[in-house]
Structure 1
Amino acid sequence: MKKTKSYKFKEVDLVSLRELALKVKNQTGFRLRYGGLLTILRTNVEEKLVHTLVQFYDPSFRCFTFQDFQLVPTLEAYSYLLDSPIAEKTPFTGPGTSLTPLYLLERSNLKTTCQDTLEDILALLIYGLILFPNLDNFVDMNAIEIFHSKNPVPTLLADTYHAIHDRTLKGRGYIFCCVPLLYRWFISHLPSSFHDNSENWSYSQRIMALTPNEVVWLTPAAQCNGHFC
């Protein structure tokens, strides 16, 4: 029996962000400019499921190893889920300073703020507080630079692996990565029957009971890119 590791995830004030998102008048236009950020914002994460998922991470193979199969997030899957293309340029590297989200929220609530500015601020807040969380109540300058680069997917995937791998080796700690994105990736591979829990099993029991034939191998991301995720 594996020893259960103790993980924690970054808590975010989603109420304020979701209230700000209600002010976006053109949802389609926002998606064209910023991809699936609003979908990520509106994702209600079942934290117990993510906590259980991380227990199955295998640092030797750098993937999630289950009873009879393995799963691993890919650039293509993250790109699809975030609705953000992978740019052919060097991903972000380098440290920076920080900016308080309170300042950005105040700017977004000014009556003189135009719709484009409001959407820019909302997108930046999602980057700083959800996609790339770091310090409490601060939007990290790194997140701002990634926001301007318009190439978040490689860094998101790298952050996911680094956070989970590092904490798994330590056996505990905070996982600083985009939990909603990791959650959406995992449930995209789960069969609809997984959510029917008439036996009242725990998440670990339900995951261990899955067979390779039940797993959704060909996700929409794979269909779009012509290979498996």
Structure 2
Amino acid sequence: MRPSEKTQREKGDSLAEGYESELWDFTRINVTQNDLRELREIWNSWNDEIKQLFYCNYGHLPYLLDIKVDKYLFRALAQFWNPAYSCFTFGRVDLVPTVEEYMALLNCPKIQADRAYSRPVNIPLFLRKLMSITGISEQWVAARIKQKGDSKCIPWGNLRDLILAHPDLKKRVDVFALSIYGLVVFPKALGHIDEAVSDLFD
């Protein structure tokens, strides 16, 4: 039993007694996905040297490109989502993946399990983060940033062109990883990589 589960069972829930999520009653589950064919084609075109560079820096993320989304599983899970805590609640137990579980899921050795992760106070602008990740000029990046809803993003097509043509192999790998995070792991707007995803590379 994990410490968080043990504590919750001993101390109980901090929500009001008798709270029951009504999310299932008014939630519409949409499993529309980004088209990942181009990402797969790029990955399959790379030689072993580039793939090894990717594995060393970002683990086995590319295997996510072949996982099929089970819409029925998502619909079933929605009834257990707890919006008050942003986690899944089964009975009286809240379940949130640990850093170690994310490491196993993504097979990413670079995650530091013994470190506390927090959002820095002074976050660089999305423009600056993209410049750092891509190694491309401010003018190029600024011309491609779009506003989608309440956040900024960059179209996947612009990043695809960079991956295919960037002279720096390491930057190609970085932009490919950013694309997987933005299109597969944390998708927000179809065909775009959201600014929040760039925090993972900060």
Secondary structure of the corresponding residue to residue 29 of structure 2: strand
- Name the CA distance, whole Å, in 2 between partners of 1:24 and 1:145: 26
Aligned to 1:199: none
**What CA RMSD, in Å, does the superposition of the two structures yield over aligned residues?**
3.1
- Name the CA distance, whole Å, in 1 between partners of 2:178 and 2:33: 17
Q: What is the Cα deviation at residue 89 of structure 1?
A: 4.7
Unaligned runs of 5+ in 1: 150-229
- Name the CA distance, whole Å, in 1 between partners of 2:155 and 2:163: 13
TM-score, normalised with respect to structure 2: 0.57
Unaligned runs of 5+ in 2: 1-23, 127-151
Is the CA contact 1:14–1:41 (under 8 Å) kept in the aligned structure 2?
yes
* Residues 53 and 23 of structure 1, relative CA distance in 2, 3 Å threshold: same
Letter in 1 for 2:54: F
Per-residue CA shift, 1:170-210, capped at 9, x if unaligned? xxxxxxxxxxxxxxxxxxxxxxxxxxxxxxxxxxxxxxxxx
Is the CA contact 1:4–1:55 (under 8 Å) kept in the aligned structure 2?
no
Matched, 1:63 2:85: no
Equivalent of 2:186, from 132, 151, 176?
132
Is the CA contact 1:128–1:138 (under 8 Å) kept in the aligned structure 2?
yes
Aligned to 2:40: 18
Per-residue CA shift, 1:28-69, capped at 9, x if unaligned? 432121112112222222222222222233557853427xx9
Aligned residues: 144
Q: What is the Cα deviation at residue 18 of structure 1?
A: 1.1
Is the CA contact 1:101–1:139 (under 8 Å) kept in the aligned structure 2?
yes
Q: What is the percent sequence identity of the aligned residues?
A: 23
- Name the CA distance, whole Å, in 2 between partners of 1:144 and 1:55: 30
- Name the CA distance, whole Å, in 2 between partners of 1:139 and 1:60: 27
* Residues 106 and 29 of structure 1, relative CA distance in 2, 3 Å threshold: closer
Q: For the pair shown, which has the larger CA radius of gyration, 1 or 2?
A: 2
How do 1:93-132 residues align onto structure 2 when only pairs under 5 Å count?
A: 96=126, 97-110=152-165, 113=167, 115-132=169-186
Matched, 1:74 2:128: no
* Residues 41 and 86 of structure 1, relative CA distance in 2, 3 Å threshold: farther
